[in-house]
Structure 1
Amino acid sequence: MGGKIAIQTTRLAKSFGGNEVIKDCSMCIREGTIYGFLGANGAGKTTMFKLLTGLLTPDFGDVEILGENMLQYRDKMLSQIGSLIEAPTFYEHLSAYKNLEIHSEYMGVEGFGVDKALKMVGLSDTQEKASSKFSLGMRQRLGIARAIIHKPKILILDEPINGLDPMGIRAMRELFLSLAKEYGITILLSSHILSEIEHVADKIGVIVNGTIVCETDLAPIKAEHKNSLEDYFFTIMSGGNSYDKTYEIRT
Structure 2
Amino acid sequence: MTSILKRNNVNVLGEGSKVLVFAHGFGCDQNAWKHLIPFFSENYKLVLLDYIGAGKSDLASYDSQKYASLEGYVSDLLEVCDALELSNAIFIGHSVSCMVGAIASIKRPEVFEKLVFVGPSPCYINSGDYTGGFDQETIDDLLEVMEEDYITWARSLAPSIMNSKNGDQLTKELTDSFCSIDPGIAKQFARVTFLSDNRKDLPLIPVESLTIQCSDDMIAPLTVGEYIHANTFNNTLTVLNAHGHCPHMSHPTETANIISNFIN
Output the TM-score relative to the length of structure 1.
Answer: 0.32
Bigger strand share: 1
Q: Provide TM-score, normalisation by structure 2.
A: 0.30
- Over alpha carbons, which structure has the higher Rg? 1
Structure scoring higher RCO (CA < 8 A, sep ≥ 6) equals 1
